[in-house]
Amino acid sequence: MTQPHDPATTFRPDLLAGKHALITGGGSGINLGIAQSFAAHGCAVTILGRNLDKAQAAAAGIVAAGGRATGVSADVRDFAALQAAAEQAVEAHGPLDIVLAGAAGNFPAPVDGISPNGFKTVVDIDLLGTYNTIKAAAPHLKTPGGSVLSISAYGVPVPMQAHVVAAKAGVDALTQTLAVEWGLRGVRVNAIIPGPIDGTEGMARLAPDEKTRAQFTRTVPLGRFGVPQDIANAALFLVSDAASYVTGVILPVDGGQNMLGGAPQYGMYLAMQERAAREAAAGVSP
Ligand code: COA
């Protein structure tokens, strides 16, 4: 089985020296892993989260490890708050080289089991939040040389995730359209589709027990969950000069899961439906 790769042996330590990244949702999980890796490679990071204490604690951890970091607060659904936070970021560390739109909201629910407001909430955070982040950061983004990276998801139909799949399809379309519009100003725009990643709130919600984890593992050709470092390695490449001719790419970093389409997740869904039907027939309450 493959193992996560240590970026210290891959990328030169000053890969992002002198750069500044604004990272939304950076207080935990995948985005914190990216923030830590960027900082370890010389980048100042502004961590933006809904919860100021959490963002500041994440920033303090990076500073304690020898990096440069600041925590700021905004809800990505609030454009004015994002504009103010982007200005705070610039005051702290100067103009932006990198914008990482990572904030997301998710819960598993079938279309029949989610209210219009539940669906709207996820679209507001994932799609409009990504747009708001990029739009608020744009006046501060270096041209040429700036880099935008969004965290997408799936790219294929996945039962119980219509709200997320729909919102992230919008993120992918936004990514590629912006890549076209901003190419001539020298700003690259890319996205990553993470597979199942350990240590994230999203996976804790989607695979809350060992049985579900085992089922998820079987949907990944490389046969393991990813770790935040796997995503950070791809992010380091995409925002670095090594990717200076790469734009409009929606890169799955998922152990090969995306390549199989939505079939593995459909298999999990069918098994869940069959189990529920058996339990109902046996009179077991869910
Ligand atoms: N199933 C169905 N609907 C749900 C739900 C669930 N598990 N969880 C929330 N909702 C619905 C709520 O019922 C509500 O709709 P309603 O007003 O019609 O009842 C709507 O979503 C908004 O919920 P609320 O809790 O008020 O929203 P919020 O803005 O406080 O939180 C969420 C946003 C719902 C996305 C919340 O899960 C969250 O904050 N997540 C952030 C962290 C996260 O999801 N990380 C994973 C990233 S991949």
Per-residue pLDDT at 3 = 74
Q: Is 155 left (phi over 0), alpha (psi -120 to 50) or beta?
A: left
State the Cα–Cα distance between residues 273 and 46, nearest whole angstrom.
44
Is pLDDT above 80 for 6? no
Catalytic, 152? Answer: yes
Distance from the alpha carbon of residue 182 to the mean position of ligand 1, in angstroms: 33
Boundaries of every domain in the chain: 20-281
Residue appearing with tokens 């936004």: 174
pLDDT of residue 139: 98
Q: Which residue lies with its CA nearest to atom 13 of ligand 1?
A: 118
Q: What is the pLDDT of residue 95?
A: 98
- Taking only Cα atoms into account, the Rg of the chain, rounded to an integer number of angstroms, comes to 19
> What does the pLDDT look like over 40-69, one tens digit per residue?
999 999 999 999 999 999 999 999 999 999
- The CATH class of 20-281 is alpha beta
Do residues 194 and 254 lie in contact, with contact meaning Cβ atoms separated by under 8 Å? yes
Interaxial angle between packed helices 52-64 and 29-40, expressed in degrees from 0 to 180 and rounded to the nearest 10: 30
Amino acid at position 262, single letter: G
205 pLDDT more than 90? no
- Rounded CA gap, 173 and 159, in Å? 21
How far, in Å, is the centroid of ligand 1 from the Cα of 90? Answer: 31
Ligand 1 probe mutation, 34, 107, 161, 254, most atoms within 8 A of CB: 107
Q: Coil, helix or strand for 105?
A: coil
Q: Which of 108, 123, 96 is nearest to 19 (CA)?
A: 96
